[in-house]
Structure 1
């Protein structure tokens, strides 16, 4: 496998049908317990919205560069308007959202302190679609099939998929010669007869088959039980830390070990896997190659906060097809940011010399990364650091400092700058959120006027007391 395989994913044209929902994140800080009840009081700081459910599958495909037709049902309400606004930010997305005035748009609202989730509130109804709405959903999907390479059925158990609707969708896809990828929730496998790939997780597969999914052999046996009883081309079970198991008819099982990395948040990892598999099938990749790519994508996704997307360059790096290239300058920076804007991502910026990276730096950078989708770190060049810190600084050269920053999982891009302040770089980046340490309280933050002018904001990140590069260097010299 070479890097061109990942580039091919951009050639896919995929339909995603399912339970579209809005993910809402209300962020703040907790400083006290309510006197009214033993619950934390959240000081509201910000609110942001993301595509969720089946729409998150679509978002993952769009990041790969694929063209996506998304078919789903919303209410006739304010969250539906917000979903429409989010969808409009993607150039390659044809969003066919069917408004049903008799049901609310599904919204999952998460209350967060940092990225620690305090509470989730769901506004939804799960009753089946009315016949006219179901007919409209099938018609919108059937209309797009001749121009598509794969169909994803993304079930979040919110009422979109009844057995009759599933049957009509799969029959239409088979007639058009379009393979169907199923990401199921509760409906039994027999309802998806005719699908090319059935992708339950371990808990779902255990419920469908009554078998324990506690080993490679157990996973294979459960997959084969479905293959032997249902007209499904292949079964792929995602097994969390144990990886994935693929069983195709008349082929040996393929077991792929999970990528070894820190798990930050598992929400949305199944969407990432489904999107990756659909794009791979759409571009006619063999299934064993497809699951290796999907496994790598899922491993990246769980290392990010919230429902996350995975960029092609991250996939190439995870698969060993490309070395890390997160230190950029000039036009490359503008191109990378333009791609993020096209995806509707929230971009943050912070800066510093980062001469000797210490725990305080890690704490502040991670706090900033938790509040945005992509974090850019501006780092002073050697000449700039010398002017700011004195003739004996920096201790480490720019290449070393930038490489260490780029290796951090919560830093998405490192950009060197040679000026005394990052004002010019901030003007070029145009971040949504500008981060500085809380020691800037009551001080003017360089670049704040640029950020505020575009509707962004400045956030002061709490500092971890007791950590200072200057103090560290002083201790080293004294010792």
Structure 2
């Protein structure tokens, strides 16, 4: 699972915001005007924009270098203080320009209801000297990064000049770039590997209808052609759609939850995708995990983050819906989703005719080697070929039902061949487990699993325990009666 990921360093470059929240309760209308009177109870400030992306990535476990522009004002001081409380965020790349006003958004809330938002921003053309300092800070951050995020809130930091320098430096260093876009035309992001527009932003950039999956896919294709990379469309309660530049499409369904506040949800998505990619996982896995992260964060009030523990628990909960006894084709589909959730998949096999303590010990030991355990059972015909015509004592369905009822078993498949080699080749588990009565070179499928980076594990077995010995004892007992 995600707990086992080793996250890398993410460079985040973009528009910095300070999100303030004034909260309280409303019980009356002002006699001066028809407006509610708020009895203020609390006033908080949290990082927003690119700073919120940084906080999300650091909360998941990444090391972060943040580059952006602040003014010489109190909001900048509050932003630095909030970011400085997180040791995994390097804020040495913040550029100070006294002519700039640190952008602040203040939301006034009664309970969870937003009454009004007050924006403080005075966006002006950034001076050439300031742009050069931003470029230098960005280039320094990219040189030590595994992934780069451009967080564009259309506040002036990500100019054409700054973007061009980012894309060129990233290309020279072999670092992928993800852009959370705000421009009305995505051609400005040529050089990025992935952009993450929401559905509204995609519609503006392509001027195309977006009423269903097919129209979303066509618009994503057009967007991809504008800048030459992959497109991940965030679609609120409908989840996300990933359009890869080679035409492959993945739809990720959102976990059902009550949506309270979508503030900063896009920040969580782009931060999670970049974090998972920094852990050397594939893009589809990053998208599935980011979908879960987004479904968590929208249930929180205001600009918020998702912890590694929260995300891991949600991913585990989502994987519980898989059935125990499935076909080989069904198993492949389920395993693909497990892998996209970051799970380490373990495989073991046997006849498991009469389940005894030796079997249970093997299953428990196998389950400890990863997150999901597949048990492959010999079919009745396969058991007869291996054990003789009087076996199995229980048919394959009965054996599969018993095995699937064990707490540590997540999936049961039945194979008809004499060995599980074809099943292993179809399912491609991360780990194959057998008892220590085998040697590693004797484990069927072991070489195949190791060929793509998997492993073979031999676990201790309970001596003197076998179905054959139980049958002999039963036969002896019946003879003595």
**Aligned residue number for residue 130 of structure 1:** 127
- The yes-or-no answer on 1:254 pairing with 2:250 is yes
**Aligned residue number for residue 292 of structure 1:** 288
User: Cα gap change, 1:146/1:43 in structure 2, threshold over 3 Å: closer, same or farther?
Assistant: same
Rounded Cα–Cα distance in structure 2 between residues aligned with 1:167 and 1:279: 23
C-alpha deviation, 1:7, in angstroms = 3.7
Rounded Cα–Cα distance in structure 2 between residues aligned with 1:321 and 1:26: 34
- The yes-or-no answer on 1:84 pairing with 2:80 is yes
**Aligned residue number for residue 307 of structure 1:** 303
Alpha carbons 1:126, 1:157 under 8 Å: kept = no
Rounded Cα–Cα distance in structure 1 between residues aligned with 2:317 and 2:35: 48
User: Cα gap change, 1:257/1:321 in structure 2, threshold over 3 Å: closer, same or farther?
Assistant: closer
- The yes-or-no answer on 1:40 pairing with 2:36 is yes
Gap regions ≥5 residues in structure 1: 325-479
C-alpha deviation, 1:225, in angstroms = 1.2
Among 217, 222, 242, which residue is 2:219 paired with?
Answer: 222
**Aligned residue number for residue 7 of structure 2:** 11
Rounded Cα–Cα distance in structure 1 between residues aligned with 2:90 and 2:4: 22
TM (norm. structure 2) is 0.64
C-alpha deviation, 1:66, in angstroms = 0.8
Rounded Cα–Cα distance in structure 2 between residues aligned with 1:323 and 1:225: 34
Q: Tell me, what secondary structure is at the counterpart of 1:151? A: strand
**Aligned residue number for residue 157 of structure 2:** 160
- The yes-or-no answer on 1:275 pairing with 2:258 is no
- The yes-or-no answer on 1:119 pairing with 2:116 is yes
**Aligned residue number for residue 437 of structure 1:** none
Q: Tell me, what secondary structure is at the counterpart of 1:119? A: strand
- The yes-or-no answer on 1:105 pairing with 2:102 is yes
C-alpha deviation, 1:20, in angstroms = 0.5
Q: How does 1:168-179 map to 2 (within 5 A)?
A: 168-179=165-176
C-alpha deviation, 1:157, in angstroms = 1.1
User: Cα gap change, 1:221/1:44 in structure 2, threshold over 3 Å: closer, same or farther?
Assistant: same
Among 228, 235, 240, which residue is 1:244 paired with?
Answer: 240
**Aligned residue number for residue 406 of structure 1:** none
User: Cα gap change, 1:296/1:263 in structure 2, threshold over 3 Å: closer, same or farther?
Assistant: same
C-alpha deviation, 1:228, in angstroms = 3.0
C-alpha deviation, 1:287, in angstroms = 0.9
**Aligned residue number for residue 385 of structure 1:** none
Alpha carbons 2:24, 2:42 under 8 Å: kept = yes
Q: Tell me, what secondary structure is at the counterpart of 2:316? A: coil
1:165-196 alpha-carbon deviations (Å, 9 max, x no partner): 21111111111111100000125211111111
C-alpha deviation, 1:31, in angstroms = 2.3
Alpha carbons 1:128, 1:160 under 8 Å: kept = no
**Aligned residue number for residue 205 of structure 2:** 208
C-alpha deviation, 1:297, in angstroms = 0.5
**Aligned residue number for residue 441 of structure 2:** none
Q: Tell me, what secondary structure is at the counterpart of 1:90? A: coil
Rounded Cα–Cα distance in structure 2 between residues aligned with 1:40 and 1:313: 39
Alpha carbons 2:263, 2:298 under 8 Å: kept = yes
User: Cα gap change, 1:93/1:315 in structure 2, threshold over 3 Å: closer, same or farther?
Assistant: same
Alpha carbons 1:18, 1:154 under 8 Å: kept = yes
Q: Tell me, what secondary structure is at the counterpart of 1:11? A: coil
Which structure's CA Rg is the greater one? 2
User: Cα gap change, 1:317/1:15 in structure 2, threshold over 3 Å: closer, same or farther?
Assistant: same
User: Cα gap change, 1:322/1:188 in structure 2, threshold over 3 Å: closer, same or farther?
Assistant: closer
- The yes-or-no answer on 1:193 pairing with 2:190 is yes
Rounded Cα–Cα distance in structure 2 between residues aligned with 1:49 and 1:228: 40
C-alpha deviation, 1:28, in angstroms = 1.9
User: Cα gap change, 1:322/1:184 in structure 2, threshold over 3 Å: closer, same or farther?
Assistant: closer
Alpha carbons 1:181, 1:278 under 8 Å: kept = yes
User: Cα gap change, 1:54/1:229 in structure 2, threshold over 3 Å: closer, same or farther?
Assistant: closer
1:10-64 alpha-carbon deviations (Å, 9 max, x no partner): 5220011111111111122222211111111112222111011110100101111
Rounded Cα–Cα distance in structure 1 between residues aligned with 2:267 and 2:72: 25
TM (norm. structure 1) is 0.64
- The yes-or-no answer on 1:62 pairing with 2:58 is yes
Alpha carbons 2:233, 2:241 under 8 Å: kept = yes
Q: How does 1:134-149 map to 2 (within 5 A)?
A: 134-149=131-146
Rounded Cα–Cα distance in structure 2 between residues aligned with 1:144 and 1:252: 32
Alpha carbons 1:33, 1:41 under 8 Å: kept = yes
Alpha carbons 1:6, 1:315 under 8 Å: kept = no
Gap regions ≥5 residues in structure 2: 321-481
Alpha carbons 1:276, 1:297 under 8 Å: kept = yes
User: Cα gap change, 1:239/1:322 in structure 2, threshold over 3 Å: closer, same or farther?
Assistant: closer
C-alpha deviation, 1:230, in angstroms = 2.7
Rounded Cα–Cα distance in structure 1 between residues aligned with 2:207 and 2:293: 29
Q: Tell me, what secondary structure is at the counterpart of 1:261? A: coil
**Aligned residue number for residue 444 of structure 2:** none
Q: Tell me, what secondary structure is at the counterpart of 1:320? A: helix
Superposition RMSD in Å: 1.7
User: Cα gap change, 1:80/1:189 in structure 2, threshold over 3 Å: closer, same or farther?
Assistant: same
- The yes-or-no answer on 1:184 pairing with 2:181 is yes
1:377-411 alpha-carbon deviations (Å, 9 max, x no partner): xxxxxxxxxxxxxxxxxxxxxxxxxxxxxxxxxxx
